[in-house]
Structure 1
């Protein structure tokens, strides 16, 4: 029996973190000294700086590879990975710039030159990363280098996006086949093979790509060519079907078909980042890899939270989609119960009781969906024919870190009653606003009981927030991350008001009362 004491996991974790910090700080220090040395010599061509970056990066790579001895401790292992990763980053940036300069540099086709140089750089990084990974034999390094290759290639394709010679949104073509290949590699690779961390990276990278692209307003499937959307969804469906085919040995056919139908429906209807998150989870289950399953579950939860705050769909659309997914889940559960005896389970409950339980659960689900969606449907119908008015805005604040991107709307005082009159108002009630010929609103009067608005007036409900302030509509206007500059010219809030005074903030408008939004 061995008497060696195993190092506690938390000590290994701190050693690993220390190795990364030490390696990156060493890289920063070396680069800072090199930059200071070059600057002290005098003016130099940018190509010389790029060449020095390649040389220093190559030195760090050689140093990191020579340091890589996993049996010498976690600190040394992670120090070597950090040094190698820092060196490859520096060398990649230098090679990209040198290729850009070689192909012509800053000319009329600068964007195309940068993009082509980036694609060649990604190919060179693939070759160098493959060679170094074979030497280091470390899954973490393989995972990181795969992410880096995908990132460089995607960045190059995004730069080429607007060039007619390379088509429209060419980076979108990359994500779906990479996810499919990553699924295949992760499931089929042996446990200690470097293909498994590479496959995991190829599954995670497309999900991050879609999330970043969505925040940058390059929304996959929204306004894109239908062929692109169909190709992507077909590849995602193929990856899911492959996982389900692998799982056929572990689960009964009918329950697997029921859950497969739900998975395919989710992949087809949900945004693409959610589809990749689902494929990650399926791949982890098919490969029986608990660690990656935990990461995949976190990814699915992250996507659901993002989907909840996604402003590209209305609440009614989200509700209908979730209801459809719930119905599909119920259908799968019923099939599983119906054919439970097919997997060798004993029928412990009479058939009639099982049918009654299924019917009761279905009735409960229908009632819940009806109650939840009734108010949503009523509001959508009520505001369909509501009057659209404009409330003038004052200065605005840009965003909130916790809630996401939004504008704090500070309405001008001329839409409110005088401060002294507000103090006497009850906590809730209604106020009449006067509309000009452009439906721009201003305060008109506080109505008495039974008063009706005049021809140029409109009734609007208010809520008293404190003794001197009231509110007609929410004063936070949310928008997609990355669209803050788009809404900077806002001067009016577009509000729909029903006949009974219920108000909803729908959009913002510029000084000419033109609606502001993506694509406008």
Structure 2
């Protein structure tokens, strides 16, 4: 709910006598360090108690129906703790671990005994019900986020973080959030429904933040974050998503709905320059199927003056746009040209918009003063931004150069395929010969460690998964990632200068540098006899 709507709600409650005429928001009577220490004390008291209960009733909790009885009892204790009269901070803070323990026990029992879809649906309804009962705004926001997570797991059948259905889950979550916002904004503010509207607003805030966060994660790594932070470069769900026309069409449609809503609420945007920007956004939404959801959320939040929510939606949209870097259906040079072209077009549109702004005579002097201050501050902000970017990029470069200099030299055989069918632009797709692991080695994990052994030529041969025995001198750990084309230790592509395809077509081995943790960096390709190409 916007600040203006909140003030209107308070005025309405005062007028109806629900609140005193001099009522003000309740201020925290204790300093935050005291509250923090109180919360720490509550956790220190709760954790040993829960461990004792687990020790006494562990078998009944794991295999029997005891988890449901204990979960119900713990949730009742948590509800009592949160509804205790103000002033007893320790009891209220004790309710947080009690609530988490109760929900965790209930989730464990449901996932064990019933279908995942039904378990997630029941948990979503229960969490929303608990949020409606509680009066702490910050806790309702957290419960709203948790309800969104279980809802998205429900709609995607527990595949949210590793399958294409993360897109459909985010779309359904957006529809629920939009319906809630529509009800909140169109309900008449009065003292009788004030508490209901505030509760719905808090739950919807947490729901939105969780939806945007999971959508950003599901879209894949953004820009150079994967290289700098060591994340997985591949995202199989996103890779399949961009090849499907339905997500593209829906994303573009959501973006057009967002644009139409902006034009409806803000008629000043009905100009050619703004329509050009809208066309660019719709084109980007077609290229990046996960972009439509945060853009529609951004449009709704901005037009209802929910500026913190709009900032979160804009950040999620920026993260999703950054994931375009890792969409492998387009060559890197093509993606670079697209992003440079779109950025230039937006820059020109922003420049034209600035020229079209009217200048009021009475504000010229104030603008001159503000401009002088901005001119002094702007270079500092630019310099700080450049410094942060340089530090982040160079940290990743230094990390890789150290691994290349000190890592173990290892050769891994490439699969024998026709190189001409693998050429796309200025890179070659790579498949590696990494037999020796069962199909069930990965399970639900995105990465797995394997034990490899080098022969007399330095070629790695997978021995299997790690065991308790110490590694021999000729063995080393190797971290592997599953992709649509098989296992890979680092990257699945080798980039080279234009016109050198014939040179690299003779490659039969990849040369890697592997650190003691098993992280590998591809530094070169070798021929059939390990000769340099």
Q: TM-score, normalised by structure 2?
A: 0.53
- Please state whether the residue corresponding to 1:193 is helix, strand or coil: helix
Equivalent position SS for 1:486: strand
Identify the residue that residue 288 of structure 2 maps to in structure 1: 270
For residues 236-385 of structure 1, the aligned pairs below 5 Å read: 236-237=254-255, 240-241=258-259, 243-245=261-263, 247-248=265-266, 251-254=268-271, 257-270=275-288, 272=290, 274-300=291-317, 302-303=319-320, 314-330=331-347, 332-333=349-350, 336=353, 340=357
Q: Indicate how the Cα distance of structure 1 residues 176 and 312 shifts in structure 2: closer, same or farther if over 3 A, else same.
A: same
Tell me the distance in 2 between the aligned counterparts of 1:5 and 1:46.
Answer: 43
Any idea what SS the aligned residue of 1:220 has?
helix
1:146 counterpart = 2:144: yes
Post-superposition shift, 1:487? 2.0
Indicate if the aligned counterparts of 2:159 and 2:166 stay in contact, CA closer than 8 A.
yes
Change in 2 beyond 3 A, CA 1:223/1:268: closer
CA distance in 2, matches of 1:144, 1:279: 23
Q: 2:71 pairs with 57, 78, 87, which one?
A: 57
Q: Which runs of 5+ in 2 are unaligned?
A: 1-21, 186-193, 221-231, 364-393, 412-478, 512-524, 528-533
Partners of 1:253 and 1:157 in 2: how far apart? Answer: 37
- Report the equivalent of 1:226: 244
- Cα distance, 1:61 vs. partner? 1.6
1:80 to 95, 120, 124: 95
- Give the match's secondary structure for 1:324: helix
> Helix, strand or coil for the counterpart of 1:194?
helix
Match of 1:196 among 201, 204, 207: 201
Cα deviation, residue 32, structure 1: 1.5
Change (3 A) 1:288 1:154: closer
2: CA distance, partners of 1:481 / 1:15: 48
Structure 2 residue aligned with 1:181: 176
Q: Deviations over 1:206-229 (max 9, x none)?
A: 433344444673423635673531
Paired residue secondary structure (2:235): coil
Q: Is the 8 Å Cα contact of residues 242 and 248 (structure 2) preserved in structure 1?
A: no
Q: Deviations over 1:433-469 (max 9, x none)?
A: xxxxxxxxxxxxxxxxxxxxxxxxxxxxxxxxxxxxx
Distance 1:257 1:181 in 2: 29
Checking the alignment, whether the CA contact within 8 Å between 2:78 and 2:96 is kept in structure 1 is yes
Larger-Rg structure: 1
Q: What's the CA shift for 1:182?
A: 2.1
Q: Alpha-carbon deviations, 1:106-132, whole Å to 9, x = none?
A: xxxxxxxxxxx1111122123222322
**Partner of 1:488 in structure 2?**
489
CA gap 1:507/1:169 in 2 versus in 1, 3 angstroms: farther
Q: Which residue of structure 1 aligns with residue 105 of structure 2?
A: 90
In structure 2, the CA distance between the partners of 1:129 and 1:241, relative to structure 1 (3 Å rule), is same
Distance 1:21 1:314, change over 3 A: farther
**Which ranges of structure 1 fall in alignment gaps of 5 or more residues?**
100-116, 163-167, 349-399, 415-477, 515-520
CA distance in 2: counterparts of 1:63 and 1:257, whole angstroms: 56
- Shift in alpha-carbon separation, 1:318–1:345, aligned structure 2, 3 A: farther
Q: Distance in 1 between matches of 2:178 and 2:320?
A: 19
Q: Is the Cα contact below 8 Å between 1:240 and 1:282 reproduced in 2?
A: yes
1:85-164 to 2 correspondences below 5 Å: 85-99=100-114, 117-155=115-153
Q: RMSD value over aligned CA atoms?
A: 5.4
Distance (whole Å) between structure 2 residues aligned to residue 506 and residue 86 of structure 1: 59
- Counting only pairs closer than 5 Å after superposition, residues 417-496 of structure 1 correspond to structure 2 as 486-488=487-489, 496=496
Residues 83 and 507 of structure 1, relative CA distance in 2, 3 Å threshold: farther
Task: Give the match's secondary structure for 2:198.
Answer: coil
Number of aligned residues: 366
Q: Structure 1, residues 346-402: CA drift from partner, whole Å, max 9, x if none?
A: 8x9xxxxxxxxxxxxxxxxxxxxxxxxxxxxxxxxxxxxxxxxxxxxxxxxxxx996
SS at match of 1:288: coil
Instruction: Return the offset for 1:195.
Output: 2.8
* 34, 38, 49: which one aligns with 2:53: 34
CA spacing shift, 1:25–1:292, aligned 2, 3 Å: farther
Residue 68 of structure 1 aligns with which residue? 82
- Aligned residues of 1:281 and 1:297 also touching (Cα < 8 A): yes
Residues 313 and 90 (structure 1 numbering): CA distance in 2 closer, same or farther, change over 3 Å? farther
Question: Helix, strand or coil for the counterpart of 1:90?
Answer: helix
The answer to whether the Cα contact below 8 Å between 1:23 and 1:83 also exists between their aligned partners in 2 is no
Q: TM-score, normalised by structure 1?
A: 0.54
| Whole-Å separation in 2 of the counterparts to 1:257 and 1:124 | 44
CA distance in 1, matches of 2:143, 2:120: 11
Contact persistence 1:494–1:507 (CA under 8 A): no
Q: 1:80 to 1:338 in 2, by over 3 A?
A: same
Once the two structures are TM-superposed, the CA of residue 26 in structure 1 deviates from its matched residue by: 5.0
